[in-house]
A and B are shown apart, each in its own frame.
Chain A
């Protein structure tokens, strides 16, 4: 039953191609598949007319032949028209079907509010299956399957038509030819599906080779490959994986090749009796030469239409893609919160919201480790709050909770007293602007890269310019060949690659654009790791000057930048362990003071080193 449901699903998928192209394609495929039968019939017509005329002398023969010849020509022209039309129509249908499918998957994934499911590797596997990357060669898209099914159905119609021609001689010819032809198809399809099983195994095994294949064409990996000189090693490793992955597949193919005599036997069993019978009848005069011609032509066209094809593979693979899409939908639904907040964020009394973490605990399900433990924290309206802590202390996790990308395991986060869980996440995020450590590098224009900081409102060039000015992006822009319109990737024509530092400035501009668009809480997660000194200094100067009444949360382990904050909190062991202004924390002489001392020491030590160097022999 599930098979039938899946097959019907593939039919429904076709709707995306829209009626007119679909109707034309169906017609073209039907015509194409009926051509063998029609040719047989036209041929029989011609031979019949000529045979009938033969008895009355040859004088009128030419005139008599013209009509059946015309019919024959018409069949051919129609057949070729259909055949030529199939390619662009299939392209068009596939473009629409797959285009809709791909955007649907992307929409499905982007519309989940939390990212709990998204960060689960199993979800990522489902996404990859659902997105079916044709460039991999073995993946099939929904369009491939839907169109293969259409071709397959048209082929059946063609077989019926060919059988009808056979039946013009005798009804029993139909099962005589059809049964071996069907048996042949069943065996071949089974062999082919087994083949596909091995093929999948092989391609999955080759993922191990892909690691090195991708490394071979990536500029980043490429530098290491060259400097450390392991290109040859890498190629050999690829080949080992390929050998290993394909062993089963190639063994199966060898077996299929050895057993191919079976197919010859089946086809012969279907054709020999039919051909002998019709030849005998016609020679005896019990059947006409026209009927004999028709049977001889149509007989083997049954085997042609029911021959092996890749259609079944396309169909099965496409069904797998559709199922993966369903599972993806389910996985996303399962991991998203049962109740989605609907309230708008409360109107803050002040310029920015008061956000409180109240006894918040959180751990990633996969890691099984608690990252935050009964954490209490206040982000006060308009303050510049710095969060510091060692790598892995949970700083980034805290931000994800603040953005509603994860829900706390226990405790709650409130915005001006309202539980964040009750607030519409989309509306809350309009109040937020976050620069993540692994920010997105859009291969789009510089303008888009800034404007996508707040994408739910139309881009506003004057605000973009203002944000760029605040972020000190002007110098970067000056160097771009097409200014704002330059794509920020060398893989785009006319595009350029930016350095890490340049990217960070773009992203700062992106964040400040969101602020100008109405964000009231700006979060910067390690914003200056790639910035040089002057820019870092300027950025903070600018930030302080431009933030207006927006609250700023700054995550950093660069304590020199942190000291300007109104308040610094130190995150350690999943809790806030120290909190206060720079001077207060230094006076406290705790962990913060210790960390600051280490960094400051390096500057002093720099000079000490220098003195040592002078006396170096």
Chain B
């Protein structure tokens, strides 16, 4: 609870500092709303008293005041609603939104994007920072409603102090409701996976790319059936949870109604005993009827506030996670201007979280400065994992990685990454202009046309650009009215992006040409080998090429053969061929395919 309060205090200060006028107006409207209610109640009592007393001028005045108070109450309620929502909207979008995304995108590692339990929470938070801010205003509304409740109780107290006991009865529905909401909350989390699956299947069913295969395989009906099934599984559980919550809510109300009507009977009894008047009873009824309204909205806002844990918990988790990750990433050493020795791996072991089989096991090897290092191996052998460790996207469980003798963990992550460049197998597809998607590879040169054009040439993509309707300024991605690229074309954008930086110390090409045809692959490989040599001369850069195509790696200075997470062979092409081990065998298979006479 204390964490919630301090979070809300933080949000409030944020609102107050950034949107003072709207925040003040919203608070004023909420306060006015409480006062208007008391005004209504008092004016109404006066009107009823005057009516019973036959006091026409008094009744007329009180009636008019009651009407105006009601008008003010109604308008203030709407106004405070609009004010609240727009404050929430603006603070959420303009002030909290960037912070949340800075947290998500700014983390050094990417585990929070790869683990489903983490990703669930990240997705909840990122869905709407506005709803986080809204939770603050819900809390404020809860306070305002409690204030309203107190005002109502004070009014009731003027009839009989015993009626104050009604507050206890009013508390019961709030508590019961809270219990019901807990069930709903848990169920929503539990069913998120099924709804995600439903969304995935629906997207496949209606997607243009997936449409081909689905039709040929006749999988449409089956997909739709499974989609409906996932939907049904999730929603059935959610409906059940809501039914349980409704039962709690109704039980709470029953208790309140019993107390409420008991109170009214008590006042009627007092009146019968002669210690009250009929007017008192009518007043009690009228005011207590408002109490019902007030408890009603208190329950509503409390429910909402209690429900806000749904978002706040993942958000607090994210902030703790970010804080922990930042604290752990203590490195502040800037990388050297140029590599002299190279990158040394010492007994590096890494397992994906939640698995017990290491993806990399006890890897020790030196990647000499200036070398082109190829990592080969069958799929799942740990090639990409190794590359991710070098990029500090993961942190090894055991062992060290040294860059010119400095532990990679000690290096500033930002500084190290600023000196690397990479094209990954599952590269990013940024739906912006072609120029930008390339230029992002070196932020300071984002608008440097000459540099971008050079990078486009490096990736052999100038023909592709020439065919685009607006050349480099063509927008990519169909959903914003841009051009949709093919797999191979996207791959060229990634390659071009990786070619932007000139001063890299580490250059990674992770299966960079998988979707390209032979002449293209050839042209690109020649360019990138040349680039590796240029970088090597300039900064002693290590170029790491991940591939399963042996033809592409024979020219490497060092070839690492990975097998099931272990480094089984390392050496030059000739050394490994002479060794006659795994590499030689695999190379032989593919080389045979190009031999004058195929070996079968």
Chain B 433-458: CB-based contact to A (< 8 A → 1; otherwise 0): 00000001111001000000000000
Considering only CB atoms and an 8 Å cut-off, how many residues of chain B contact the other chain? 192
Decide yes or no whether B488 CB sits under 8 A from chain A. yes
A283 touches B51 (CB 8 A): yes
- With a cutoff of 8 Å between Cβ atoms, the chain B residues found around residue A589 in the complex are none
B127 touches A135 (CB 8 A): yes
Assembly CA distance A598 to B526 (angstroms): 12
Assembly CA distance A607 to B59 (angstroms): 107
Assembly CA distance A85 to B245 (angstroms): 10
A493 touches B90 (CB 8 A): no
When C-beta atoms are compared, the residue in chain B nearest to A225 turns out to be: B105
3 residue pairs, one from A and one from B, having the closest CB atoms? A606-B554, A110-B220, A560-B593
- With a cutoff of 8 Å between Cβ atoms, the chain B residues found around residue A268 in the complex are 67-68, 71
Q: List 7 A-B contacts (CB under 8 A).
A: A65-B264, A65-B272, A216-B105, A260-B75, A429-B216, A535-B379, A560-B590
Question: Which residue from B206, B213, B484, B520 sits with its C-beta under 8 Å from A436?
Answer: B213
Tell me whether A216 and B555 are in contact in the complex, defined as CB-CB below 8 angstroms, given that A223-B393, A263-B75 are known contacts.
no
Decide yes or no whether B320 CB sits under 8 A from chain A. no
Tell me whether A533 and B598 are in contact in the complex, defined as CB-CB below 8 angstroms, given that A391-B488, A561-B593, A607-B554 are known contacts.
no
B292 touches A76 (CB 8 A): yes
- With a cutoff of 8 Å between Cβ atoms, the chain A residues found around residue B216 in the complex are 403, 405, 429, 432-434
When C-beta atoms are compared, the residue in chain B nearest to A40 turns out to be: B289
Decide yes or no whether A7 CB sits under 8 A from chain B. no
A119 touches B208 (CB 8 A): yes
Decide yes or no whether A102 CB sits under 8 A from chain B. yes
B97 touches A238 (CB 8 A): yes
- With a cutoff of 8 Å between Cβ atoms, the chain B residues found around residue A213 in the complex are 101, 126
Decide yes or no whether A347 CB sits under 8 A from chain B. no
Assembly CA distance A227 to B414 (angstroms): 8
Q: What is the CB-to-nearest-CB distance from B376 to chain A, in angstroms, rounded to a whole number?
A: 8
- With a cutoff of 8 Å between Cβ atoms, the chain A residues found around residue B204 in the complex are 440, 442
Q: How large is the interface on A (under 10, 10 to 19, 20 to 34, 35 or more residues)?
A: 35 or more
B116 touches A492 (CB 8 A): yes
- With a cutoff of 8 Å between Cβ atoms, the chain A residues found around residue B285 in the complex are 43, 46-47, 72
Tell me whether A453 and B217 are in contact in the complex, defined as CB-CB below 8 angstroms, given that A228-B443, A228-B497 are known contacts.
yes
A50 touches B281 (CB 8 A): yes
A243 touches B242 (CB 8 A): no
A610 touches B101 (CB 8 A): no
Tell me whether A603 and B591 are in contact in the complex, defined as CB-CB below 8 angstroms, given that A106-B202, A437-B487, A533-B586 are known contacts.
yes
Decide yes or no whether B317 CB sits under 8 A from chain A. no
Decide yes or no whether A15 CB sits under 8 A from chain B. no
Question: Which residue from A43, A54, A227, A455 sits with its C-beta under 8 Å from B221?
Answer: A455
When C-beta atoms are compared, the residue in chain B nearest to A192 turns out to be: B82
Q: What is the CB-to-nearest-CB distance from B174 to chain A, in angstroms, rounded to a whole number?
A: 14
- With a cutoff of 8 Å between Cβ atoms, the chain A residues found around residue B205 in the complex are 106, 109-110
B441 touches A228 (CB 8 A): yes
B220 touches A121 (CB 8 A): no
Question: Which residue from B47, B79, B113, B552 sits with its C-beta under 8 Å from A257?
Answer: B79
Assembly CA distance A111 to B257 (angstroms): 55
Tell me whether A62 and B113 are in contact in the complex, defined as CB-CB below 8 angstroms, given that A99-B231, A223-B393 are known contacts.
no
B197 touches A279 (CB 8 A): no
Q: What is the CB-to-nearest-CB distance from A526 to chain B, in angstroms, rounded to a whole number?
A: 8
Chain A 363-378: CB-based contact to B (< 8 A → 1; otherwise 0): 0000000000000000
B425 touches A426 (CB 8 A): no
Chain B 480-501: CB-based contact to A (< 8 A → 1; otherwise 0): 1100101110000010010010
A444 touches B105 (CB 8 A): no
Assembly CA distance A88 to B90 (angstroms): 32
Tell me whether A530 and B414 are in contact in the complex, defined as CB-CB below 8 angstroms, given that A47-B285, A208-B480, A216-B101 are known contacts.
no
Decide yes or no whether A172 CB sits under 8 A from chain B. no
Q: Which residue of B54, B551, B553 has the most chain A CB atoms within 10 A of its CB atom?
A: B551
Known: A73-B261, A95-B231. 17 other contacts (CB 8 A): A39-B289, A106-B201, A127-B206, A133-B199, A135-B127, A223-B428, A264-B72, A271-B67, A275-B63, A279-B62, A282-B51, A289-B282, A391-B488, A437-B487, A440-B204, A529-B514, A557-B517
- With a cutoff of 8 Å between Cβ atoms, the chain B residues found around residue A500 in the complex are 379, 425-426, 511, 514
User: Which residues between 113 and 145 of chain B lie within 8 Å of chain A, taking CB atoms?
Assistant: 113-116, 119, 122-123, 126-128
Assembly CA distance A47 to B289 (angstroms): 13
Decide yes or no whether A229 CB sits under 8 A from chain B. yes
Decide yes or no whether B224 CB sits under 8 A from chain A. yes
Assembly CA distance A81 to B388 (angstroms): 58
Q: What is the CB-to-nearest-CB distance from B152 to chain A, in angstroms, rounded to a whole number?
A: 16
Tell me whether A217 and B126 are in contact in the complex, defined as CB-CB below 8 angstroms, given that A99-B235, A610-B573 are known contacts.
yes
Decide yes or no whether B343 CB sits under 8 A from chain A. no
Q: What is the CB-to-nearest-CB distance from A304 to chain B, in angstroms, rounded to a whole number?
A: 8
- With a cutoff of 8 Å between Cβ atoms, the chain B residues found around residue A46 in the complex are 285
Tell me whether A283 and B44 are in contact in the complex, defined as CB-CB below 8 angstroms, given that A58-B274, A215-B430 are known contacts.
no
Chain A 68-90: CB-based contact to B (< 8 A → 1; otherwise 0): 01001100110011011101100
- With a cutoff of 8 Å between Cβ atoms, the chain A residues found around residue B127 in the complex are 135, 137
Question: Which residue from A212, A476, A492, A603 sits with its C-beta under 8 Å from B193?
Answer: A492
- With a cutoff of 8 Å between Cβ atoms, the chain A residues found around residue B553 in the complex are 606
Decide yes or no whether B579 CB sits under 8 A from chain A. no
- With a cutoff of 8 Å between Cβ atoms, the chain A residues found around residue B86 in the complex are 250, 253, 257
A211 touches B431 (CB 8 A): yes
Tell which of B4-12, B158-166, B247-255 binds the partner. B247-255
Q: Which residue of A208, A228, A605 has the most chain B CB atoms within 10 A of its CB atom?
A: A228
A226 touches B110 (CB 8 A): yes
Tell which of B307-315, B331-339, B403-411, B416-424 binds the partner. B416-424
A279 touches B51 (CB 8 A): yes
Question: Which residue from B116, B245, B554 sits with its C-beta under 8 Å from A495?
Answer: B116
Tell me whether A600 and B594 are in contact in the complex, defined as CB-CB below 8 angstroms, given that A217-B113, A429-B215, A530-B379 are known contacts.
yes
Decide yes or no whether B13 CB sits under 8 A from chain A. no
B257 touches A76 (CB 8 A): yes
Decide yes or no whether B66 CB sits under 8 A from chain A. yes
Tell me whether A62 and B239 are in contact in the complex, defined as CB-CB below 8 angstroms, given that A235-B105, A535-B378 are known contacts.
no
Q: What is the CB-to-nearest-CB distance from B231 to chain A, in angstroms, rounded to a whole number?
A: 5
B218 touches A429 (CB 8 A): yes
A534 touches B218 (CB 8 A): no
Assembly CA distance A279 to B72 (angstroms): 20
Chain A 215-249: CB-based contact to B (< 8 A → 1; otherwise 0): 11111111111111111111110110011001000
- With a cutoff of 8 Å between Cβ atoms, the chain B residues found around residue A65 in the complex are 264-265, 268, 272, 281
A73 touches B487 (CB 8 A): no
- With a cutoff of 8 Å between Cβ atoms, the chain B residues found around residue A433 in the complex are 216-217
Tell me whether A493 and B193 are in contact in the complex, defined as CB-CB below 8 angstroms, given that A220-B426, A271-B70, A280-B59 are known contacts.
yes
- With a cutoff of 8 Å between Cβ atoms, the chain A residues found around residue B102 in the complex are 231-232, 235
Assembly CA distance A595 to B222 (angstroms): 43
Assembly CA distance A50 to B268 (angstroms): 9
Q: Which residue of B216, B494, B557 has the most chain A CB atoms within 10 A of its CB atom?
A: B216
Question: Which residue from B52, B420, B555 sits with its C-beta under 8 Å from A610?
Answer: B555
Assembly CA distance A340 to B397 (angstroms): 60
B209 touches A533 (CB 8 A): no
Decide yes or no whether A139 CB sits under 8 A from chain B. no
- With a cutoff of 8 Å between Cβ atoms, the chain A residues found around residue B328 in the complex are none
B587 touches A533 (CB 8 A): yes
Tell me whether A606 and B551 are in contact in the complex, defined as CB-CB below 8 angstroms, given that A80-B253, A440-B210 are known contacts.
yes
Decide yes or no whether A609 CB sits under 8 A from chain B. yes
User: Which residues between 235 and 280 of chain B lie within 8 Å of chain A, taking CB atoms?
Assistant: 235-236, 238-239, 242-243, 245-247, 249-250, 253-254, 257, 260-261, 264-265, 268-269, 271-274, 278
Assembly CA distance A603 to B193 (angstroms): 48
Tell me whether A559 and B518 are in contact in the complex, defined as CB-CB below 8 angstroms, given that A426-B218, A609-B555 are known contacts.
yes
Decide yes or no whether A91 CB sits under 8 A from chain B. yes
